[in-house]
């Protein structure tokens, strides 16, 4: 006897495909929680050094407006006129803000206006921060670059590189997201945000977001896609992948390694928002599961060995409550919700097998 | 030059597939909104008769507990010891509760304990209500049957049929969800809830829910699937489809016709929750889109001609805020949110075409 197509899919969920599903639980953290007058957001991945957890994040002070009065020098976002701070914790719940890791640059520097949205990669005992930077001018994604700083210690000092490592095509610089002469990738080149750097197959994959932010042109949320730029050495040069964009959805980048490939959690924006996707080559992503209640701006704990399960790299992390939820952005902890178990066909529910 | 698989999918969303996406907006209604001490939930589809909209729904009075004290005669749910009421409106916002359409049966009748969760089908100038019924005994889904009543007028009186039209296999009756002798469908046969009756290809398709409600055995929410039973005449007999279950997810049934097939909105429960699915034959459902913020217990307005667009049958309706959101269940209006437009690739975003 035949079974329905839906029942065939149920069998897939009960086997391999079920491993890609999870729920999320959210809890407050102490030390990085709500604080009137302060924005904290965009936590990096979390690393364990010795007995301490470390996290980096965007911090800015005071209110902002959204260019309503046409003042291009006014603060327009919690990420504007921001700096990168870091915090440590012994238990991943109680955090201590240790201080500033990356300050804004001097007047005229490529990072004079803001530094924000950090991520961390430890490589050969060096600590590399990647983050967004902006020179003075009208605040918008299109003026954002991705920059890098390194240190021999997680506590710093971090030494900035002389130039950003990834800049949009309309920037007065060297970077081109794709070879513009033979592939007009248009507005996708205009932004480089939310970096996530992964050492993968002995090269360096710098994932980043390109949010076009046209007026709700699609199924859900703003129009956002990701690209990747690849380098043989961690300090670059980074060459944008010819397949960019490599997603059609997703806000802040969140990726981790699994087996021979890369797993991505795409949140908030686009027709494929709230999905887990997998690319065996780090570039060609396929949808593996649809989730809900996904973290915003999440950074995940970097465990030593995260290849045993697709979601092992997503066990817990920090994320932010952003301006849509709170006047003052702040950080929270998320965990995979174990009450949302992988799909199982109940034994009493007999298929015709 | 190649484009990424994600960009190929983006092209699908920008064409045919984008028609299956939407958002939802929710607004209060007057007359059926929050009222302390009263539960109103599970609105039927909404029909227009003359200049008036009609809706039927579950109504019950007073608090309930969830069998905590072991009293099998105590009210255990807003759907327990309920009756079916109806309301009318000239504008679909301001509603007037007109009275009771279906009362509980006399002691010993098949519907002595509760009548709830109605749906409506107009067929050859007759009005048919289908709904859940329960005799006395421990309140649970497994004791639920689906029953029918008819009237020459939407205002009634509705005449009940002598027997339920669909009963679970463990019921002392004639119905079997699937031929048990050669296909042990097990617990799926144990429930018949949330009916939705559609006249389709000159036969009658009675969709219903089977919620197993095991303790969170799957990716999201309780374990819930749908079946369909088909009859040549509206009053039956209804024969369960051999392909049952025909979904692996979804709480309250919500279906409508589109072109030659049936569209279903699966909400809240299961790995395929929050999807729109389509079956060209009314049975074999494929996922067409993933949505969020989907209505609970929704009933949709039955327009004359809803074949011009996949979601034309979902333009607006009523749904409920249930016990997870409010102590007292009440009805709300939902509309497709037109700010969530179908996915479009911005013209400035050039694929290699």
DSSP string, B243-267: T----S--SS--EEEETTEEEEEE-
Can you tell me the distance from the alpha carbon of A305 to that of A49, in angstroms, rounded to the nearest whole number?
15
Query: Residue A177: its pLDDT value, please?
Result: 35
Query: In this structure, are residues A152 and A125 in contact, taking their beta carbons and an 8 Å threshold?
Result: yes
- Using an 8 Å CB-CB cutoff, list chain B residues near A246: 4, 6
> Is residue B349 over pLDDT 60?
no
Mutate to test the interface with B, among A178, A187, A188, A218 (most CBs of B within 10 A): A218
Can you tell me the distance from the alpha carbon of A105 to that of A86, in angstroms, rounded to the nearest whole number?
18
Q: Among partner residues B9, B217, B275, which is closest to A344 by beta-carbon distance?
A: B217
Contacts of B1 (CB under 8 A, 6+ apart): A182, A183, A242, B352
Determine, for residues B218 and A242 on separate chains, whether the beta-carbon distance falls below 8 Å: no
Query: Residue A216: its pLDDT value, please?
Result: 40
Beta strand spans in B62-109 (E): 83-89, 95-102
Determine, for residues A242 and B2 on separate chains, whether the beta-carbon distance falls below 8 Å: yes
- Using an 8 Å CB-CB cutoff, list chain A residues near B10: 248, 271
Contacts of A167 (CB under 8 A, 6+ apart): A145, A146, A173, A174, A175, A192
3-state secondary structure of A5: helix
Determine, for residues A4 and B244 on separate chains, whether the beta-carbon distance falls below 8 Å: yes
Q: State the smallest CA–CA distance between residue B262 and chain A in angstroms.
A: 15
Determine, for residues A245 and B6 on separate chains, whether the beta-carbon distance falls below 8 Å: yes
Q: Which element (helix H / strand E) includes B239?
A: strand B239-240
* B183 confidence band (pLDDT: 50, 70, 90): very low
Determine, for residues A346 and B223 on separate chains, whether the beta-carbon distance falls below 8 Å: yes
> Is residue A318 over pLDDT 50?
yes
Query: Residue B182: its pLDDT value, please?
Result: 23
Query: Residue A202: its pLDDT value, please?
Result: 95
Instruction: Name the more confident of B121 and B169.
Output: B121
Looking at A173-177, A335-339, B156-160, which range is the least confident one?
A173-177
Query: In this structure, are residues B62 and B70 in contact, taking their beta carbons and an 8 Å threshold?
Result: no
Can you tell me the distance from the alpha carbon of B165 to that of B197, in angstroms, rounded to the nearest whole number?
12
- Average confidence (pLDDT) over B211-230: 64
- Average confidence (pLDDT) over B210-214: 59
Determine, for residues A284 and B182 on separate chains, whether the beta-carbon distance falls below 8 Å: no
Can you tell me the distance from the alpha carbon of A61 to that of B1, in angstroms, rounded to the nearest whole number?
46
Determine, for residues B217 and A343 on separate chains, whether the beta-carbon distance falls below 8 Å: yes
Query: Residue A142: its pLDDT value, please?
Result: 56
Ranked by mean pLDDT, the top range of A207-211, B324-328, B336-340 is: A207-211
Determine, for residues A246 and B4 on separate chains, whether the beta-carbon distance falls below 8 Å: yes
Q: If you count them, how many residues does chain A have?
A: 353
Determine, for residues B214 and A242 on separate chains, whether the beta-carbon distance falls below 8 Å: no
B352, two tokens: 């290699």
Query: In this structure, are residues A65 and A351 in contact, taking their beta carbons and an 8 Å threshold?
Result: no
* A188 confidence band (pLDDT: 50, 70, 90): very low
The count of CB pairs under 8 A between chains A and B is 177
Looking at A349-353, B44-48, B101-105, which range is the least confident one?
A349-353
* Per-window interface: B 227-256 vs A, CB < 8 A: 242-249
Q: Among partner residues B218, B245, B341, which is closest to A343 by beta-carbon distance?
A: B218
Q: Report how far apart, in Å, the C-alpha atoms of B16 and of each of A5, A67, A214, A273, B12 are.
A: 22, 37, 21, 19, 6
- Average confidence (pLDDT) over B95-111: 96
Determine, for residues B219 and A349 on separate chains, whether the beta-carbon distance falls below 8 Å: no
Query: Residue A155: its pLDDT value, please?
Result: 98
* Per-window interface: B 91-110 vs A, CB < 8 A: none
Q: What is the DSSP letter of B312?
A: G
- Using an 8 Å CB-CB cutoff, list chain A residues near B2: 242-243
Can you tell me the distance from the alpha carbon of A14 to that of A16, in angstroms, rounded to the nearest whole number?
7
Tell me: the pLDDT tens digits for B133-165? 998 876 655 568 899 999 999 999 999 999 999
Query: Residue A89: its pLDDT value, please?
Result: 98
Mutate to test the interface with A, among B11, B22, B219 (most CBs of A within 10 A): B219
- Using an 8 Å CB-CB cutoff, list chain B residues near A284: 4-6
* A174 confidence band (pLDDT: 50, 70, 90): very low
- Average confidence (pLDDT) over B221-241: 87
Residues B28, B30, B32, CA angle at the centre, nearest 5°? 90
A272 touches chain B (CB under 8 A): yes
Q: Report how far apart, in Å, the C-alpha atoms of A336 and of each of A12, A120, A180, B118, B162 are.
A: 21, 22, 41, 38, 51
A274 touches chain B (CB under 8 A): yes
Can you tell me the distance from the alpha carbon of B178 to that of B241, in angstroms, rounded to the nearest whole number?
7
Query: Residue A296: its pLDDT value, please?
Result: 92
> Is residue A222 over pLDDT 90?
no
Query: Residue A191: its pLDDT value, please?
Result: 62
- Average confidence (pLDDT) over B176-183: 28
Tell me: the pLDDT tens digits for A100-145? 999 999 998 999 999 999 999 999 999 999 999 998 876 655 568 8
B8 phi, psi to nearest 5 deg: -60, -45
Q: Give the residue from A56, A41, A38 showing the smallest Cα distance to A102.
A: A56
- Using an 8 Å CB-CB cutoff, list chain B residues near A289: 219, 271
Q: Give the residue from B347, B331, B273, B279 showing the smallest Cα distance to B310.
A: B279
Mutate to test the interface with A, among B2, B5, B6, B246 (most CBs of A within 10 A): B6
For β-strands A38-41 and A52-61, DSSP reports them as antiparallel
Chain A: residue nearest B210 by CA? A349
Query: Residue B305: its pLDDT value, please?
Result: 65
Q: State the smallest CA–CA distance between residue A322 and chain B in angstroms.
A: 19
Q: How many helices (H) and strands (E) does chain A have?
A: 1, 21
* A270 confidence band (pLDDT: 50, 70, 90): confident
A70 phi, psi to nearest 5 deg: 75, 10
Instruction: Name the more confident of B179 and A312.
Output: A312
Q: Which element (helix H / strand E) includes A14?
A: helix A5-14
Spatial strand order of the sheet with B239-240 comes to B193-200, B203-211, B224-231, B239-240
Ranked by mean pLDDT, the top range of A101-105, A332-336, A337-341, B288-292 is: A101-105
- Average confidence (pLDDT) over B30-48: 96
B7 touches chain A (CB under 8 A): yes
Query: Residue A179: its pLDDT value, please?
Result: 28
Q: What is the DSSP letter of A169?
A: T
Q: Report how far apart, in Å, the C-alpha atoms of B299 and of each of A19, B296, B312 are.
A: 34, 9, 14
B222 touches chain A (CB under 8 A): no
* A221 confidence band (pLDDT: 50, 70, 90): low
Q: Which element (helix H / strand E) includes A10?
A: helix A5-14
Task: State the residue for tokens 């005669």.
Answer: B73
- Average confidence (pLDDT) over B238-245: 86
Ranked by mean pLDDT, the top range of B115-119, B299-303, B325-329 is: B115-119
Can you tell me the distance from the alpha carbon of B223 to that of B210, in angstroms, rounded to the nearest whole number?
9
3-state secondary structure of B189: helix
Q: State the smallest CA–CA distance between residue A96 and chain B in angstroms.
A: 35
Residues B136, B142, B143, CA angle at the centre, nearest 5°? 20
The CB density around residue B265, as the number of other CB atoms within 10 Å, is: 26
What number of CA atoms fall less than 13 Å from residue B18's CA on the CB side?
18
- Average confidence (pLDDT) over B41-50: 97
A149, two tokens: 């700083």
3-state secondary structure of A141: helix
Q: Among partner residues B2, B216, B219, which is closest to A243 by beta-carbon distance?
A: B2
> Is residue A180 over pLDDT 50?
no
H helices present in chain B, as ranges: 5-14
Instruction: Give Rg (Cα) of chain B.
Output: 20
- Average confidence (pLDDT) over B222-246: 88
Determine, for residues A219 and B21 on separate chains, whether the beta-carbon distance falls below 8 Å: yes
> Is residue A40 over pLDDT 50?
yes
Determine, for residues A244 and B283 on separate chains, whether the beta-carbon distance falls below 8 Å: no
- Using an 8 Å CB-CB cutoff, list chain B residues near A2: 242-243
Determine, for residues B220 and A352 on separate chains, whether the beta-carbon distance falls below 8 Å: no
Tell me: the pLDDT tens digits for A3-39? 889 888 887 887 778 888 888 888 889 999 999 999 9
């Amino acid at each position: 006897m035949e079974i329905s197509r839906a029942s065939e899919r149920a069998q897939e969920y009960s086997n391999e495909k079920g491993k890609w599903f999870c729920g999320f639980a959210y809890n407050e953290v102490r030390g990085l929680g709500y604080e009137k007058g302060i924005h904290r957001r965009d936590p990096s991945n979390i690393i364990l050094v010795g007995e301490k957890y470390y996290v980096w994040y965007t911090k800015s002070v005071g209110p902002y407006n959204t260019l309503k009065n046409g003042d291009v020098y006014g603060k327009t976002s919690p990420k504007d006129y921001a700096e990168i701070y870091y915090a440590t914790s012994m238990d991943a719940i109680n955090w201590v803000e240790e201080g500033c890791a990356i300050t804004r640059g001097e007047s005229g520097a490529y990072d004079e206006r803001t530094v924000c949205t950090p991520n961390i990669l430890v490589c050969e005992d060096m600590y590399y921060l990647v983050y967004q930077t902006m020179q003075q001018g009208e605040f918008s994604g299109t003026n954002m670059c991705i920059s890098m700083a390194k240190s021999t210690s997680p506590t710093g000092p971090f030494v900035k590189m002389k130039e950003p490592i990834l800049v949009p095509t309309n920037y007065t610089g060297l970077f081109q997201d794709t070879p513009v002469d033979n592939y007009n990738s248009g507005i996708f080149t205009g932004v480089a945000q939310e970096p996530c750097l992964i050492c993968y197959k002995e090269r360096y994959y710098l994932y980043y977001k390109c949010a076009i932010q046209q007026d709700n042109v699609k199924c859900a949320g703003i129009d956002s896609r990701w690209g990747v730029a690849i380098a043989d050495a961690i300090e670059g040069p980074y060459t944008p992948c010819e397949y960019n964009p490599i997603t059609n959805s997703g806000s802040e980048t969140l990726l981790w390694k699994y087996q021979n490939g890369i797993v991505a959690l795409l949140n908030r924006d686009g027709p494929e928002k709230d999905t887990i996707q997998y690319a065996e080559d780090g570039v060609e992503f396929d949808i593996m599961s649809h989730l809900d209640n996904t973290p915003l701006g999440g950074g995940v704990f970097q465990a030593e060995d995260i290849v045993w399960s697709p979601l092992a790299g997503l066990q817990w992390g920090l994320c932010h409550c952003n301006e849509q939820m709170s006047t003052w952005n702040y950080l929270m902890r998320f965990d995979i919700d174990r009450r949302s178990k992988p799909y199982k066909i109940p034994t009493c529910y007999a298929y015709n097998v």
